[in-house]
Structure 1
Amino acid sequence: MGNLTALLIIDVQEAMFSYPDQKLYDEEGVMERIISLQHKARVAGTPIVYIQHTEDEEYTKGTPTWQISHRITPQEGEVIVEKPTWDAFHQTVLQDELQKLGITNLVICGMQSEFCLDTTIRRAYSMG
């Protein structure tokens, strides 16, 4: 990851893990890979931006299930962007935050690839 790259971690929130009867596909493997990316980014000094879904019952701001997973707790100085839709750029400050940091490349990971990751990746590509 170079100087103009940021790691974008999307929707890795406690709600994802709050249903004991509904396990995520390869939950432990996915979390291990996200934790590994987070660690590598921190060691390399690569900015990390957390995207935090904020709506609905499980994602109501301030509730325990809305919190970013305790396994990847953001550190001071790491950016958190709240989003109301599947698209992390729509009605958020994400683009402004990336521009402030001089980011031109993204490494994107997170939860629910068929929803918020897919939408955000397509939008990021469209935006260049």
Structure 2
Amino acid sequence: MNTDRAFLVIDLQQEDAFPLHDLHPVIANNASLLAAMRGAGIPVIYTRHVNAADGSDLPPGEPLDSAGRPLSYRAGTRQVEICGALAPQPGDRVIDKPRYSAFHRTDLDRQLRELGVRRLIVTGVLTDACVLATVLDAFALGYGVDLIADACTSTTEAAHNAVLLIMANWVYAIELFSTDQFLRRLDGEPHQSCRPTEPDQFAHRPDQFVATIVRLQATLGLPRREQE
């Protein structure tokens, strides 16, 4: 088994409390990546965000229903299960987490170090919440990160892209890919990616946001898209 890297699939669960942008293509991209990772012998680790059913142990301000229960990711419901199209296979690992970061109050770091993992391949949701928090903690703990941009999403395309820029600007151990380009890399073929080389590499003014996203997308080999 190839254990210097691991594939971390963040919170691709059946939770439907909020709409996600381009979810079906994201699921399809993750399915392609999962098949490739398993074929390459790269360990697969899923995370599930799970809130205690009675609402205990929630962060301050977490939305509750009229009975004081979490509005989303409630333990014991269908919503916390992994999407059927991406179901874990024998040998995959599943880690439940109570907060955004996959490292917070879990044994993910211990499991990775026992495997000898030095670099994480990251996908999942939400780009601007659990993905971002996990990537920042991975960076702080000394891991390199390959972030597959079109295998992540958030509630809006703008939020997703804003966080891609934040990570490209300040997570020096990151390399960003599209799914197609990462699979090309895995196969040893020529590929494109974005590897930050200096602080604030994608600095921009508000009126330059769309143009800066187009520049990032071009480095990833992604087709240009109109922003929301």
Query: Which runs of 5 or more structure 1 residues have no equivalent in the other structure?
Result: none
The aligned counterpart of 2:4 is 4
1:1-128 equivalences in 2 (<5 Å): 3-15=3-15, 18=16, 23-55=19-51, 56-128=70-142
AA of the residue aligned to 2:5: T
Question: Shift of residue 102 of structure 1?
Answer: 1.2
Work out which of the two has the higher radius of gyration on C-alpha atoms and give 1 or 2: 2
Question: Shift of residue 58 of structure 1?
Answer: 2.9
AA of the residue aligned to 2:4: L
Alignment deviations for residues 61-116 of structure 1 (CA, whole Å, 9 cap, x no partner): 23111101111110112111110000110100111111121111100000110000
TM-score by length of 2: 0.52
Same amino acid, percent of matched pairs:
32
AA of the residue aligned to 2:34: Q
Moved over 6 A (4+): none
Query: Which runs of 5 or more structure 2 residues have no equivalent in the other structure?
Result: 52-69, 143-228
Question: Shift of residue 33 of structure 1?
Answer: 1.1
The aligned counterpart of 2:190 is none
Query: Residues of 1 paired with 2:74 and 2:11: CA distance?
Result: 13
Q: Between 55-64 and 116-125, report the one with greater CA deviation.
A: 55-64
Question: Shift of residue 124 of structure 1?
Answer: 0.2
Question: Helix, strand or coil for the counterpart of 1:62?
Answer: coil
Question: Shift of residue 35 of structure 1?
Answer: 1.0
Q: Between 33-42 and 23-32, report the one with greater CA deviation.
A: 23-32
Question: Shift of residue 28 of structure 1?
Answer: 1.4
| Contact 2:3–2:115 (Cα < 8 Å) also in 1 | no
Ranked by relative contact order (alpha carbons within 8 Å, sequence separation 6 or more), the top structure is: 1
AA of the residue aligned to 2:128: E
Query: Residues of 1 paired with 2:108 and 2:132: CA distance?
Result: 16
How many pairs align?
A: 123
| Contact 2:49–2:96 (Cα < 8 Å) also in 1 | yes
Cα RMSD (Å) of the superposition? Answer: 1.4
